[in-house]
Amino acid sequence: MPERVRLLLAIIYFFLLILVGRLMQLQVFEHSKYATLARGNHQRTETIPALRGRIFDRNGTPIAANRIAVDLLYRGGPIRFTSRILAIVGIDHLPKVPPGEEEIVLAANLPDKWIPTLAELTAGQPNLRLEERIERYYPNPIAGPVIGYVQGPSATDLKHGYERGDLVGRAGIEAALENVLRGRRGLKLVEVNVHGEVIREQVLTPPQPGRDVRLTIDLNLQRSAERALAEALDDLNAGRKKLGLPPETVAKGALVALDPLSGEILAMATSPAYDPNLFTRRPAPASEIQSLQTDPALPLLNRAVQSYTPGSTFKVVSASALLEAGKVAPNTTFRCLPFIRFGGQIRRNWSPRDMGPMTVQEALAYSCNTWFYQAVIEAGPVRVIDTIAARARDLGLGQSTGLELAEKRGLVPDRSWKKERFGEPWYPGETLSVAIGQGAVMATPVQIAHMLALIARSGQSPSPHLVLSPDGSHKRKKVEGLFWHTLQGGLRKTVTEGTASSRLKNFPVPTAGKTGTAETPGKRAGYEHAWYMGFGPYPLDQPSPYPPFVVVAFFEKAGEGSRVALPAVKKVMAAFWEVPESTPKPATP
């Protein structure tokens, strides 16, 4: 055999020997090491997102639901079919992945028509992938501050068990019921080939969806309440025009309607508001969200659970306190003077004329300030503040109502509160202010609605709530009292002959209520808080074809309660009972 051939064969055998040796090393001696690495490379565990619980109104109409959205994610580095993919998603270049980030969203909420094409183009590309996620949407949205909204998890959320792609309630009902609505992620084993393509998946732990929630809200009545708030702007600006004041661009207020028998809130509206779908859009509309956050009208605020000066709606509390303590009787009479002098100050009634002698019922009906001033002075203004405060708490003020939403507690001042807060004694004139709902006293629209329900039902009413209970059971409040009918009669006279008679006297359903006009800092006419609280049919303890109903409307710096808040309540009452807003006059023969 020629020398050259032997040399060539020797070289070939040498390299074959090296190759065989390397194969033995990999397959025999280091088999377990590389088998483990191979399994690690081709199998991975992934969590499976869980559906968030849906939210329905009392009749089963969906308010918040879920749908599947598909996003295109980019891990950085080179990709194939670059120009075609960029043209589909509508961008002109590949962005850089920020340091510390594994991947970024190249395109969110992909249209269904492009998903098959992108699935083909991204197949086998380790730097691109399509990801399904669960998206929250609101097919029948109610006021954003009430229903709330969801967002992705913050850095703090990620440290407390949330994962990227989860939805977290940020406000309103979505936040208050987070533990109920949030589901639990599942776990799956994913096997992929060397090209990154998924070969098979195995579910190890199925995801657990969040619980669905049915609210007490009636969507149709909610729409009527929101519409009444918006339409109140015309009444507000009519009052402004009459006083030569500049108009407002939006009515700021709240409306709460509830069933006094069950405590179920049938409508909770706040204005201004926002569409919660704004926060679920991808990419998030940063400029629109920022404008909401910086809007001086505070559209993110749920005014139904904020506390305000209650004005004359509080007079029913003072009347109840004075009656139950024996400081006045149903037939106790004081003259409704245009003003009185007390403590070196002149304290005026809203009317400049002498309205004559009145009992407590007439004082409520005509909202006479000076009647309450005289009653408090005769009772002893320093001592009686504690009596009024105690009765206010009995009627649910100055404390949480138990509502599912975060709510202000309001404030019921008394001697011990002032001593603790300011280190000062209580002065007699302060009681005169509190007795008519001014001074330091504060209440939320929800609290006023609950208070009115207790009075309308003679001291019995469940706590207000927004979530329907399967068994209909909720904490019930029982308040003792001997003069419920006296109070109810005064509220009825408000409608038949008093401050609400011009608008509600001819309403088809007999109702009772109370107007309220609360002074604000500066005491400028036209900038008072406007209130109206009403219930019907009157009386609630008598048979009627109309179901019981309580409504409270509040408007911030809107003027007189009878001008702005009362018409809003009237519209919602008409919508609930399905009656016209006034009884038609009989035709003249």
Count of other CB atoms within 10 angstroms of residue 504? 28
Dihedral, 288, 292, 297, 301 alpha carbons, nearest 10? 150
Taking the C-alpha atoms of residue 21 and residue 542, their distance in angstroms, rounded to an integer, is: 101
pTM summary value: 0.88
- The H or E element spanning position 136 is strand 128-137
CA dihedral for 121, 124, 126, 130, sign (positive or negative): positive
CA dihedral for 434, 437, 443, 447, sign (positive or negative): positive
Orientation of helix 82-89 relative to helix 115-122, angle to 10°: 150
Condensed to tens digits (0 to 9), the pLDDT of residues 3-50 reads 666 666 667 766 677 776 666 665 655 555 555 455 545 688 888 889
In CATH terms, the superfamily for domain 219-577 is DD-peptidase/beta-lactamase superfamily (3.40.710.10)
Taking the C-alpha atoms of residue 232 and residue 245, their distance in angstroms, rounded to an integer, is: 17
CA dihedral for 123, 124, 127, 132, sign (positive or negative): positive
Taking the C-alpha atoms of residue 295 and residue 293, their distance in angstroms, rounded to an integer, is: 6
CA dihedral for 45, 48, 49, 53, sign (positive or negative): negative
What are the angstrom distances between the C-alpha of 448 and each of 73, 183, 266, 533, 560? 51, 36, 15, 8, 18
Q: Rg (Cα) of the chain, in Å, rounded?
A: 34
- The H or E element spanning position 293 is helix 286-294
Taking the C-alpha atoms of residue 478 and residue 456, their distance in angstroms, rounded to an integer, is: 13
pLDDT for 38 equals 53
* Ranges in the chain, pLDDT < 70: 1-10, 13-15, 20-42, 194-197, 471-474, 583-589
Q: Which amino acid, 378? A: E
Residues 6+ apart with CB under 8 A from 564: 232, 235, 236, 239, 251, 530, 555, 558
Taking the C-alpha atoms of residue 459 and residue 540, their distance in angstroms, rounded to an integer, is: 12
Taking the C-alpha atoms of residue 63 and residue 173, their distance in angstroms, rounded to an integer, is: 11
Distance linking the first and last C-alpha atoms of the chain: 139
Taking the C-alpha atoms of residue 417 and residue 328, their distance in angstroms, rounded to an integer, is: 26
pLDDT for 10 equals 66
pLDDT for 17 equals 72
> What is the domain partition of the chain in residue ranges?
46-69+100-214, 219-577
User: Same CATH topology for 46-69+100-214 and 219-577?
Assistant: no
Q: Is 28 exposed, middle or buried (0-12, 13-18, 19+ CB in 10 A)?
A: exposed
Among 3.20.20.70, 3.90.1310.10, 3.40.50.300, 3.90.1150.10, what is the CATH number of 46-69+100-214? 3.90.1310.10
Condensed to tens digits (0 to 9), the pLDDT of residues 436-458 reads 999 999 999 999 999 999 999 99
Supply φ then ψ for residue 533, to 5 degrees: -125, 135
pLDDT for 242 equals 94
Secondary structure of 13-55 as H, E, C letters: HHHHHHHHHHHHHHHHHCHHHHHHHHHHHHEEEEEECCCCCCE
Length of the chain: 589
| Residue-wise DSSP of 476-506 | EEE---S-HHHHHHHHHHHHHTSTTHHHHTT
Taking the C-alpha atoms of residue 147 and residue 177, their distance in angstroms, rounded to an integer, is: 10
